[in-house]
Chains A and B, each alone.
Chain A
Amino acid sequence: MITSTFVTMERGRALFGIHAQIVQAVVADREWSGADPFEMSQALGITGPAADSPHPILLVGIKEKPTPIRALGAVVMRQLDVSSVWPVPHLARNPTQRQPVSGVAFVEGTLPLVILDPIVLLALAAEHTQP
């Protein structure tokens, strides 16, 4: 069995995850002093995290210059059998909108996991930070 580790966050009836390999660090928001982070909720078109909930900053991308992205909530590392991750079917993709989702995993006993596409996420974050 080949496994991959994902940084996951629970929101509604799903978990949202990003491959841990591309997350350089997870920083508590109270300890974050860098540039304004990009809101992951904005990329997903959902409401932002509640003010009183933990919403750490994920440093995503290359080690030398990672992009700060605010998580949807508390993060949990989860290890998955890669064969349980399925691609999003072509028909479910919207050609008029960038879809920050690359796959899904249905694992018994847990909420469905929506795998986020780091390339789209970083592109959206880059647009957000451009003046």
Chain B
Amino acid sequence: MPHLLPVQVQSVSIAIDARHVHEIVGPGPAVLLPGTRAEIPGVMAYRGRAVGLFDFAAVADGLVPARDISQRPRVLVVQVEGSTLAAPVDSVREVREIAADSLLPPRLTSQKFATAEVEIDGVVMPVFDFAAFVKSVAAAAAAGELSPDRATGGITRGS
């Protein structure tokens, strides 16, 4: 049976596969960067390196992108597909064990990279699939790397 971690971002509840959540920490030093994708607008310091800062507002309907998402009180450190992301949220509830047949195709919720929705404590919420998101980003990055001119304007580091 899947274990889901319900979290809240602004007024929206989202469930996450608990296996992907490595750690829950407080807000750490972070900075927004220019030229990033909307879903990962910056980086946060985590254990001696910079990890991508994930913004749920870029993938879920009903969320307003915050000016400084790094100041949300809790940060999920997500490890999936060999990548680490820091996902700031407003609150985290306890992990729930969910019967597999309670996971339904999304009908009431609308969220990119949500493969299912589930009802927890009377609230229907999307189940966000971090693995699908990371795979999508990696595929897009690989496609971009095939076009070096687009990446550096034709100038390469070796030249």
- A65 on the interface (CB 8 Å rule)? no
Known interface pairs A13-B68, A91-B40, A98-B152. Does A44 touch B50 (Cβ–Cβ under 8 Å)? Answer: no
Q: Which of the segments B31-39, B98-106, B114-122 contacts the partner chain? A: B31-39
CA distance A46 to B35 in the complex (A): 10
CA distance A13 to B43 in the complex (A): 13
| A94–B36 touching, CB < 8 Å | yes
Chain A residues with Cβ below 8 Å from B68 are 13
| B141–A92 touching, CB < 8 Å | no
Chain B residues with Cβ below 8 Å from A96 are 140, 144, 150
B126 CB → nearest A CB, Å: 21
| A104–B152 touching, CB < 8 Å | no
B-contacting residues, A10-57, CB 8 Å: 13-14, 43-46
B146 CB → nearest A CB, Å: 9
Chain B residues with Cβ below 8 Å from A88 are 33, 43, 50
A77 CB → nearest B CB, Å: 20
- B45 on the interface (CB 8 Å rule)? yes
Chain B residues with Cβ below 8 Å from A124 are 153
Interface size in chain A (residues, C-beta < 8 A): 34
| B40–A92 touching, CB < 8 Å | yes
| B52–A89 touching, CB < 8 Å | yes
CA distance A14 to B33 in the complex (A): 9
Size bracket of the B interface: 35 or more
A contact face: mostly helix, strand, loop, or mixed: mixed
Between-chain CB contacts (< 8 Å), 27 pairs = A44-B34, A89-B49, A89-B51, A89-B52, A89-B83, A91-B134, A91-B141, A92-B37, A92-B43, A92-B52, A94-B37, A95-B141, A95-B145, A95-B150, A96-B150, A98-B153, A99-B35, A100-B34, A101-B34, A106-B45, A112-B31, A114-B33, A120-B153, A123-B153, A123-B155, A126-B153, A127-B153
Give chain B's interface residues, CB within 8 Å of chain A: 29-37, 40, 42-43, 45, 48-53, 68, 83-85, 134, 137-138, 140-141, 143-145, 150-155, 157
Known: A13-B32, A89-B51, A91-B137; 17 extra A-B contacts, CB below 8 A, are A13-B31, A13-B68, A44-B34, A45-B34, A46-B34, A89-B84, A92-B37, A92-B40, A92-B42, A92-B53, A93-B141, A99-B34, A106-B31, A114-B33, A114-B34, A122-B155, A127-B153
